[in-house]
Amino acid sequence: MVSAATRKNLLKVRVMDFITSIAILPLLFGCVGIFSLFKLLQYMRMKAYIRNAVVIITGATSGLGRECARVFFAAGAKLVLCGRNREALEELTRELAASRVTEVQTHKPYIVTFDLADPGAIVAATSEILQCFGYVDVLINNAGISYRGAIIDTSTDVDKRVMETNYFGPVALTKALLPSMIKRRHGHIVAISSIQGKISIPFRSAYSASKHATQAFFDCLRAEMEQYEIEVTVISPGYIHTNLSLNAITADGSKYGGEAPVSLLFCEKLLVSHRETFCSYLINLYLFIQI
Ligand SMILES: NC(=O)C1=CN([C@@H]2O[C@H](COP(=O)(O)OP(=O)(O)OC[C@H]3O[C@@H](n4cnc5c(N)ncnc54)[C@H](OP(=O)(O)O)[C@@H]3O)[C@@H](O)[C@H]2O)C=CC1
Ligand SMILES: CCCCCCCCCCCCCCCC(=O)OCC(=O)COP(=O)(O)O
């Protein structure tokens, strides 16, 4: 015999079941709708942010830089393309001009050539960059070189060359462009780092070190620039198939010119190089669980 109270509870459960079954679909669609709307607004904001923005891209002759140039050009940005090879940059501007973009008004890019590893050239390049459109909205520090070699065989000159290109060059260019951004209280500085800015890899010491330094410098910059409303972003990609490996320099400074497969020795050394990190993670985890 079911008591009156139990019957009342059963009724309550049925009513709740009914409400849940009819509410679940609208709720689900509602969430998907809100998420899609959020994504659409984000996309529209991004497009508006880029359209007519003055964007400087270093290392625009190849790989990631070249691809960024295509995307930003199509989005209506006012580009200043930088690199060492004027011919390659001119070819890129011809390609961009020939591409059919119907949605937005596009702008003819400027070209500024300079060597990031030459501190003297950066000062002159900065004033040339600023003369193009009078100001800079976004600086993409993309240019870089890779390095392959054993530390024991590598001359300090090679370490310095990688650091000059990947670290000191972008730092000098950023510092040179900062005053104009601070004056306008507006700007966005992007540094293309790497996973190797967070994890060092054997036989890549100079490259990994330059990317760790990049990560550290631009993290500090982000905190210091907050008061001027200048944004700083560090991007840390994994492997992307570009000319980076081909253009890598070796222990004696010569061009690598090949693409070596990942060897077992490499994997073994990688584990050794991260033994300390791995151990400290385990110790931290242990302490965390204990506390
Ligand atoms: N490809 C990958 O797997 C990854 C790449 N990255 C980073 O992405 C960035 C772009 O690399 P990616 O496109 O792959 O490589 P690429 O070799 O294809 O492009 C490198 C660019 O840097 C320029 N550059 C090199 N040295 C100098 C210099 N001294 N002065 C001025 N410009 C220079 C080159 O121009 P020039 O015509 O003058 O040689 C070229 O445009 C680098 O910072 C790299 O470290 C990060 C993670 C992964
Ligand atoms: C317990 C130990 C854990 C260890 C985890 C290690 C994980 C290592 C991931 C390695 C990812 C590497 C991404 C590198 C991104 C990058 O910068 O690529 C470009 C180059 O490295 C340069 O090209 P090259 O072919 O010359 O090396």
* Residue entry with tokens 């890779």: 146
User: Is any atom of ligand 1 closer than 6 Å to the C-beta of 64?
Assistant: yes
- What average pLDDT does the chain have? 91
User: Is any atom of ligand 2 closer than 6 Å to the C-beta of 270?
Assistant: yes
Q: Which residues of the chain have pLDDT under 50?
A: none
In eight-state DSSP terms, residue 262 is P
d(CA 177, CA 159): 26
pLDDT of the residue at 1: 66
Q: Closest residue (by CA) to atom 23 of ligand 2? A: 245
pLDDT of the residue at 128: 98
Ligand 1 centroid from CA 18, angstroms: 60
- Domain limits of the chain? 49-258, 260-291
CB 97 within 8 A of CB 69: no
Q: What is the pTM of this model?
A: 0.86
In eight-state DSSP terms, residue 263 is P
d(CA 110, CA 268): 47
d(CA 217, CA 215): 6
For residue 245, give the ligand 1 atom closest to its CA. 17
Catalytic one among 110, 147, 167, 207?
Answer: 207
Ligand 2 centroid from CA 175, angstroms: 29
* CATH class of the region 49-258: alpha beta
